[in-house]
Amino acid sequence: MKRPILELKNIIKDFSKVRAVDGIDLSIESGICFGLLGPNGAGKTTLFEVIEGILTPTSGQILYKGKPRKRRFKEEVGVQFQHTEFPHFLTVKETLMSFRNLYKHKADLDYLIETCYLQDILDRDNRKISGGQKQRLLLAVALANDPDLIFLDEPTTGLDPQSRRHLWEIVKQIKSNNKTVILTTHYMDEAQILCDKIAIMDLGKFIAEGSPKELLITNNKTNFIVLEGDVDKDILVKLPWPWKRLRGRIEIYTNSVNDCMKILLEMDIDLSRISARAQNLEDLFIKLTGKELRA
């Protein structure tokens, strides 16, 4: 097991009469991608900002590489904020060089350009880059000091599918260099693809923690059979599994796809437009929190 790069011990954060973070313990190994998930109001943004050092915890301890955070922490972390405005009338290259010059230890400029796919927009004014290009520049800025620990706050929110996948490849490349990434996201497919471990947070506490695979195996073994079109309710009530009618289709929840298919055939139900899928992280999230993640 790799040594933890970050450890949280009984972290509490209070605001007036509200306890936003309620006794969080966490250990994050170096070289992994850790995802922090939760509905709006769960406390994840507050926890994220406490870990980054933007907010001071009410109580508890945070260790970075086994020691309390000091100047070294600020020098060795990179942060990509969700909303950042770059100076107007500067080019992408000028912006990147300006941020690099803020640090003693600088990442190689060519490495930043190549890793974040900025080659084609280096001479473009910041005002004339797309949303996806801006996110790549934000990521390059977060890497300007060659950090060991990178914080990404919903890095792909609002991007088109192609741009999202572009960012995914960058995150994978960063992790392959033994960097540690901590991200928040509203996209369950993103968490399942990128994260080695995740924590689902609600009401200030972790309600589930582990690898995506572990969480799916441990918490829920349900499969979903989907029937397109309408089916008579008198037939459906005879099924030994729960079901739900949703937007012109029927969803049946079962732990035995084979048995379910056999019974549906015996009931003479039309299976020409049937599909089956295993549970995913979004199903698990809804089950645990009773809420649905929205960007």
pLDDT tens string 52-93: 999 999 999 999 999 999 888 988 999 997 778 888 889 999
Checking if the pLDDT of 293 tops 60, the result is no
Q: How many angstroms separate the CA atoms of 213 and 192, rounded?
A: 8
CB 62 within 8 A of CB 69: yes
What is the Cα–Cα distance from 202 to 42, expressed in whole angstroms? Answer: 4
Which residues does 145 contact at the CB level (< 8 Å), separation at least 6?
75, 76, 78, 100, 102, 103, 105, 106, 107
pTM (two decimals): 0.82
Token pair recorded at residue 260: 């379910």
> Three-class SS of residue 27?
strand
Tokens at residue 37, please?
Answer: 């998930």
H or E stretch including 288? helix 281-289
Is residue 56 within 8 A of residue 63, CB to CB? The reply is: no
Please give the angle made by the CA atoms of 27, 74 and 178, to the nearest 5 degrees.
55
50, burial (CB in 10 Å: exposed 0-12, middle 13-18, buried 19+): buried
Which pLDDT belongs to residue 276? 83
263-292: per-residue pLDDT in tens?
A: 888 888 888 888 888 778 888 888 788 765
Given a cut of 60, whether residue 260 has pLDDT beyond it is yes
How many Å from the N-terminal Cα to the C-terminal Cα in the chain? 34
203 exposure class (CB count in 10 Å sphere: 0-12, 13-18, 19+) = middle
Say whether 90 sits in a helix, a strand or coil: coil
Identify the pLDDT of residue 1: 59
146-195: per-residue pLDDT in tens? 999 999 998 888 888 888 998 999 999 999 999 999 999 988 889 999 99
Rounded to whole angstroms, the Cα distance separating 47 from 41 reads 11
| Residue carrying structure tokens 């996948």 | 165
List helix spans (H) across 30-130.
44-52, 71-76, 92-100, 109-115
Structural domain boundaries of the chain? 4-217, 222-278
Angle at 35 between CA 146 and CA 294, to 5 degrees: 120
Confidence (pLDDT) at 295: 46
What Å distances lie between residue 57 and 23, 29, 44, 63, 237, CA to CA? 11, 22, 13, 13, 52
CATH architecture of 4-217: 3-Layer(aba) Sandwich (3.40)
Q: 123: burial class by Cβ within 10 Å (0-12, 13-18, 19+)?
A: exposed
Give the integer Cα–Cα distance in Å for 151 and 34: 10
